[in-house]
Amino acid sequence: MQLQEILFSQGFGTRRICAGLIQHGHVTAAGHPVTDAAADFETEDLRFCVDGVEWPYQEKAYLMLHKPTGTECSRKPSAYPSIYTLLPPPLRQRPQKGATQGVQAVGRLDQDTTGLLLLTDDGQFIHRMNSPRHHVPKVYEVTVRHLLDEQQVSRLLGGVVLDDDPRPVRAAACELMEETRLRLTLTEGKYHQVKRMIAAVGNRVERLHRSRIGRLELPPDLLPGQWRWLSAADLAALAP
């Protein structure tokens, strides 16, 4: 693939902009400076640098982000900064066939919810992770206002009725950690589901943190606001 096409596919601007970056000496590929925009490279395992920043070629982008509190999972936030401002421009500008450009959040977390958030430009991956048919477990660490008891835990496991669905909604697992903390596992993602389930048993969520999706844990060294590429092992941990 021509180098200008590689940069274009990775979100570095239009083909003309990408050609200019190369011709003006801003790009190295496979460890060597390149000024010929039409130079061909094999994309497998290719790493290139733009203005000294190294990038791996990714046919599709798969990321994890440690979402901090006070951010919205929207490109047009209403009251808080967007999570997309935490990503470098190329990830926000990756071209797609549809109208939307760049990576998208796989589901959403409320502005005051922290923790593991996946982002990608792979529409099939988004559908697979969000579809209730695949029962991808999502684990939340929940701090509540009032003391918890086994009766509340039993109700969460047995099912509670939310106001928009007559069918009981159940937690796949629920573990009492401390007097006001529990670990809750869900396999579907309704609007404000954790908060509404906790309210249905007579309590209130004070803090909410997503620690795991599938078998993928939020790494302890990934600080709030930081992101990283998903490895092959990470993607395998997300497989059903």
Structure tokens at 156: 């969460």
* 207: pLDDT strictly greater than 90: yes
* Same-domain status, 98 and 190: no
CATH assignment of the domain containing 166: 3.30.70.1560
User: What is the per-residue pLDDT for 191?
Assistant: 84
102 and 108 Cβ atoms separated by less than 8 Å: no
Q: pLDDT tens across 32-89, in order?
A: 999 999 999 999 999 999 999 999 999 999 999 999 999 999 999 999 999 999 999 9
Phi, psi of 96 (to 5 degrees): -135, 165
* Same-domain status, 7 and 41: yes
pTM of the model: 0.93
Q: What is residue 193's three-state secondary structure?
A: helix
| C-alpha R_g of the chain | 21
Residues taking part in catalysis: 110
What is the domain range of residue 32? 3-56
* Same-domain status, 174 and 197: yes
* 240: pLDDT strictly greater than 80: no
Confidence band, pLDDT 50/70/90 cuts, at residue 200:
very high
- DSSP class of 30: T
User: What is the per-residue pLDDT for 100?
Assistant: 58
User: What is the per-residue pLDDT for 98?
Assistant: 56
Q: Do β-strands 181-186 and 138-144 pair in parallel, antiparallel, or remain unpaired? A: antiparallel
CATH assignment of the domain containing 8: 3.10.290.10
Whose tokens are 């990714």? That residue is 58
Q: Do β-strands 53-56 and 47-50 pair in parallel, antiparallel, or remain unpaired? A: antiparallel
Q: Picking from 25-34, 158-167, 192-201, which range would have the lowest pLDDT averaged per residue?
A: 158-167
Beta-strand runs (E) in 91-148:
104-105, 113-120, 138-144
